[in-house]
Chain A
Amino acid sequence: MLEAAISAAQNLFSPGPLIGMAIVLPVALASGLIPAGGLPTTSVVLSFAGYIDPWIAMSIVVFSMAAGDITEPVPAILLGVPGARSAQATVLDGYPMAQRGLAGEALGASYTTTLVGGLFGGAVLLAVLPVGRELLKLFGSSEFFLLSLMGILAIAIISAGAFVKGMLTAAFGIAIASIGFTNVGGVVRADMGIDFLWEGFGIVPIVIGLFAIPEAMDLVIGDTPVARERLDTMMKEANKDVLRGMKVALSHKWLMLRSSIIGTFVGAMPGVGGATGHWIAYVQARQTEKGAVDTFGKGDIRGVIAADAANNSSDGGVLIPTLVFGIPGAPGMVLVLAILILSGITPGPPMLSTHLDLTIAMVYIIILANIIVVPIMLLLAPYLARVSAVPPNILAPIVIAVTTLAAYQASRILEDLLVVLAFAVLGVFMKRYGWPRPPILIAVALAPTLERFMWITVNTYGFGLFLRVQSLVLIAMMIALVYMALRVQSVASESAHTAVPDRPGSKVSEESIEDPS
């Protein structure tokens, strides 16, 4: 372990990864400020992951993911616009604070909790790695089968509070993943006579079609640019009382710690992700903090602290199932897995043996991102918030152009552009009718693992699966976690509906809770 830790530091602090992180820094900062901003960055990296050193590829992706999470609260507080998936709960109290002239204090609290949460999540990931190695020795094919199944079902069950639609889309995702060649059975399934479908659908065109393009289109169709005067006013107030906000955050150390634990723990649930964690942390704070039931949603700094600590600590959490089991901790982790595979690295158990140094390096990257980005945000947040005010008609064509380029380069198959278009139509429809999209992505990513281990399990254990202690523990754990997530999700939705502040441009809704980017 120590050798791997030293090797991780040596490899990470070499020119390639450092230059990669320096190049991606401005993009990463901007990615948290715009809706679904993380997707184009990761997609572009994915398009050339096969060409570059895996250390550089992973440095860029994990760094941009962690840095993006840190910048997310800025537009949420200053403009009432949640830049990306995990800042929606921050809006509920951050924006009312900004409206009362307390933007700087809210930002100060946000930076502090973000830093603490990020470091906590990274530390937990580091601590879990040796445990994970031992745990893996107890895991057989049946446990991997159950983890894959639960990964798909968990995201479906808690998606947007729409249980039936979530399950239906998860099944639809498994059906989509069934198309093409399968190693299990060695046949080409349901290719509809189209040669191109022999390989099945690639993950990148699905992500870009289902998420990036519908989000960009939504920006154009909604066309709600942030008023320039509002931005100027907020910029003046954003640098006031930041230090006081930091002190207030530190005085709520137990709330920060509780929220960080929740963020990491929920993030570590296969398929669930950090967006749910920050809502759960927000709700627990609302229910446990003194007088919070009356003040949350009206500009209570504790709401900002709870949401942001959980949001950033989840970065470490979502990497736990992703790296240890090869099961994505969040929908966005599907792309991280894809990058690892393209780089010639098998996610899952080998990450804790042959590539332990790379795994540890990811912890370093999360910590590094927090140490670098938080001071930058302290100095530049009000100016960077202007990115959120870029008119949709300028942002959208650029996002579409860049992601289209990435979609083609990821596979070099022209027909993939047709796949992008088809999934874009599907994505627009699903978004319009409130069908959660992440279950499709998770199902497509996990289906091969699910299928392989299911076949082995059926042949090896049969119903004996339910006699294995490990399997039973796993089933009980997942049922309990999903039950808890469902309970809290309903309270979170209630909070979102009852405490939505008057703000421009965006709305906090059940649908936005499921945004996975």
Chain B
Amino acid sequence: MRWRNLRTYWLSTEVLGELLLIALAFALFGYLFVLSFDWPEAARLLPRIAVIIGVPFGLVRLVVLLRRVRPSAASVMDTSFRIEGQDPRAIAGRFVRIWTWLLALYLGIWMLGFHFALPVGTFIYLFRYGKAGWVWSVGLSVAIYATIKLVYDVALDAVWFDAVIPQWLGLV
């Protein structure tokens, strides 16, 4: 019975998510430690300090995590999307929506450049999900465009990268 409880707990998002974080840290520590043999003595001190501090504390955290049977209380970012008084599906929807928008925004910046993607992306979110209405959505998006143009282009003479689509179209 206890074993079954533990197994269920180990496979919960409560544990798996943190295991992922610990694994990421250990992967970096391991990578640095192995490579450090190829570096001069001066350059290997810092990464080894990271490893010396990180590995013992990582192991302690791992043991504490795996030995704890009772999961901690849910919070805003719980992958089971629980917030008191709110529908978990609505929270999950908001989670997916903001991440999708962020990825689309960054993709848009790469494809179309800041001048187009940033105001348009902001407008779409404000109008579609922020329910800000036409006036506010357009106004705030124009404000972002004006910031890019006036602050960065005019005042600072900023340099931008060449976006993919304008390159394809021979515009840059």
Instruction: Report A's interface with B, CB cutoff 8 A.
Output: 48, 51, 164-165, 167-168, 170-172, 174-178, 182, 184-187, 189-190, 213, 217-218, 220-223, 391, 393-394, 396-398, 400-402, 404-405, 408-409, 412, 414, 417, 421, 424, 426, 428-435, 447, 450-451, 454-455, 458
* Contacts A167-B53, A174-B49; A396 near B98 (Cβ below 8 A): yes
Binary per-residue interface labels of chain B (51-66) against chain A in the complex, 1 for a CB within 8 Å, 0 otherwise = 1011001101100100
Alpha-carbon distance A178/B101, docked complex (angstroms): 32
> In the complex the two chains form, is A432's CB within 8 Å of B75's CB?
yes
Interchain Cβ contacts under 8 Å between A and B, 22 examples? A51-B156, A168-B58, A171-B57, A172-B50, A178-B32, A184-B43, A189-B32, A213-B102, A223-B86, A393-B129, A393-B130, A400-B102, A401-B105, A401-B118, A409-B152, A414-B110, A417-B106, A424-B102, A428-B77, A433-B18, A451-B46, A455-B45
Residues of chain B from 30 to 86 with CB closer than 8 A to chain A in the complex: 31-32, 35, 39-47, 49-51, 53-54, 57-58, 60-61, 64, 72, 75-79, 83, 86
Residues of chain B from 106 to 138 with CB closer than 8 A to chain A in the complex: 106, 109-110, 114, 118, 121-122, 125-126, 129-132, 136
* Contact for B77 among A164, A187, A432, A447, CB less than 8 A: A432
> In the complex the two chains form, is A190's CB within 8 Å of B35's CB?
yes
> In the complex the two chains form, is A414's CB within 8 Å of B161's CB?
yes
A-B complex: 3 closest residue pairs judged by Cβ atoms: A185-B43, A171-B54, A432-B77
Interface size on B, residues (CB 8 A): 73
Chain B nearest CB, measured from A289 CB (Å) = 32
> In the complex the two chains form, is B76's CB within 8 Å of A221's CB?
yes
> In the complex the two chains form, is A172's CB within 8 Å of B54's CB?
yes
Alpha-carbon distance A412/B101, docked complex (angstroms): 23
Chain A nearest CB, measured from B138 CB (Å) = 13
Chain A nearest CB, measured from B49 CB (Å) = 6
Alpha-carbon distance A171/B106, docked complex (angstroms): 30
For A218, the chain B residues whose CB sits under 8 A away are 76-77
> In the complex the two chains form, is B43's CB within 8 Å of A222's CB?
no
Instruction: Report B's interface with A, CB cutoff 8 A.
Output: 17-18, 20-22, 24-25, 28-29, 31-32, 35, 39-47, 49-51, 53-54, 57-58, 60-61, 64, 72, 75-79, 83, 86, 91, 94-95, 97-99, 101-103, 105-106, 109-110, 114, 118, 121-122, 125-126, 129-132, 136, 140, 144, 147-148, 151-152, 156, 158-159, 161
> In the complex the two chains form, is B110's CB within 8 Å of A222's CB?
no
> In the complex the two chains form, is A391's CB within 8 Å of B102's CB?
no
> In the complex the two chains form, is A405's CB within 8 Å of B118's CB?
yes
For A176, the chain B residues whose CB sits under 8 A away are 28
> In the complex the two chains form, is B42's CB within 8 Å of A435's CB?
no
Chain A nearest CB, measured from B133 CB (Å) = 10
> In the complex the two chains form, is B60's CB within 8 Å of A172's CB?
no
For A447, the chain B residues whose CB sits under 8 A away are 46
For A412, the chain B residues whose CB sits under 8 A away are 158-159, 161
